[in-house]
A and B are shown apart, each in its own frame.
Chain A
Amino acid sequence: MDFENVKAQMRKGVLEFCILSILSKGDAYATDLLNNLKESELIVVEGTLYPLLTRQKNAGLLSYRWEESTQGPPRKYYALTDKGREVLKESEASWRELIESVDSILKK
């Protein structure tokens, strides 16, 4: 098993959680999300974001609205739904649990 692959898998695992987390701080369109995720080095190529957003939207976690832009094409702004907020809360809890479990092993 090569290490790069492990890293990519880890990143993928938390990506959906991070998208929800970013959106909980305010509505955003894809490029805002991309800038955020790229800054934290969570995403390498942009294309991977779109299937995730579509799936989260279809699962009822996100809603969207169109807004005109002065510089380019109209933007699709995503917002968390109530269900999305709930899932985020649960994910956050399990994330903390996971960190604790891993830490407890690392510190042994």
Chain B
Amino acid sequence: MKKTFSVNLGNRVYSIDDDAYMKLKEYLDRIEGYFSDQKEREDIINDIEMRISELFTEYLGSNKQVITLNDVEEVIKVMGDPREISGAEEQSQATHERHSGTRRIYRDPDNRMIGGVCGGLGAYLGIDPVIVRILFILFLIFGIGFLVYIILWIVVPEARTTAQKLEMRGDSVNVSNIGSFVKDEFESVKKSFRRNKN
């Protein structure tokens, strides 16, 4: 017996086994990690989801109501490796390579209390965000902290893509780093998912 999820792909609802769901989610996240431009990324992911939705419809019939791991593996074979999909984007990858190793300030959406400002500063400075938060609270007592926080919240961009998250930590943006980072994230999602289930 397997647990299933229902997912919305291209405005259609599919029942999907939990292992198949995990695999598909990881696949789409990996593709996402390769595109840095937000508008472009949304378009591409949307189009790919549409196509996957169409393929799922083809696989399903009156005797088959659930998308299985096999189906997802088939879809991945048809759509291709994320690296290959982004192959046309070699140029933007190359420009990223040039920035490799340099840190940039982002707000950290994975490590946030309010806007992710302290989490991002902590990652940038390489110190524990808790220390940054304590310093900020001290600032607050002296009056200007609140304003500074709001300004930083507005000015500092959020690290949305995997590439930006790597940049925030000062890691170079290359294929193997993106791969391992996405895998880490995937594992942590899996863990928290298990925790919630129990």
Contact = CB atoms under 8 A, between A and B. Distances in A.
A53 B39 CA distance: 13
A76 B78 contact: no
B53 A48 contact: no
Nearest to B56: A72
Contact of A55 (B9, B57, B85, B88): B88
A76 B50 contact: yes
B88 A72 contact: no
Contact of B88 (A45, A48, A58, A76): A48
Interface in B1-56: 9-12, 31, 35, 39-40, 43-44, 47-48, 50-51, 53-54
A54 B47 contact: yes
Given A30-B47, A31-B54, A51 B80 contact: no
Nearest to B50: A73
Contact of A50 (B10, B39, B48, B57): B48
B80 A44 contact: yes
A72 B48 contact: no
A14 interface: no
Q: How large is the interface on A (under 10, 10 to 19, 20 to 34, 35 or more residues)?
A: 20 to 34
Contacts of A44: 80
B79 interface: yes
B87 interface: yes
A73 B40 contact: no
29 contacts: A31-B54, A45-B78, A45-B79, A45-B84, A47-B31, A47-B79, A47-B80, A47-B84, A48-B84, A48-B85, A50-B44, A50-B47, A50-B48, A50-B51, A51-B35, A51-B44, A51-B88, A52-B88, A53-B47, A54-B44, A54-B47, A58-B40, A72-B10, A72-B58, A73-B9, A73-B11, A73-B50, A73-B57, A76-B47
Interface of B: 9-12, 31, 35, 39-40, 43-44, 47-48, 50-51, 53-54, 57-58, 78-82, 84-89
Given A72-B10, A72-B53, A75-B50, 6 more contacts: A46-B51, A46-B78, A51-B44, A54-B43, A54-B44, A58-B39
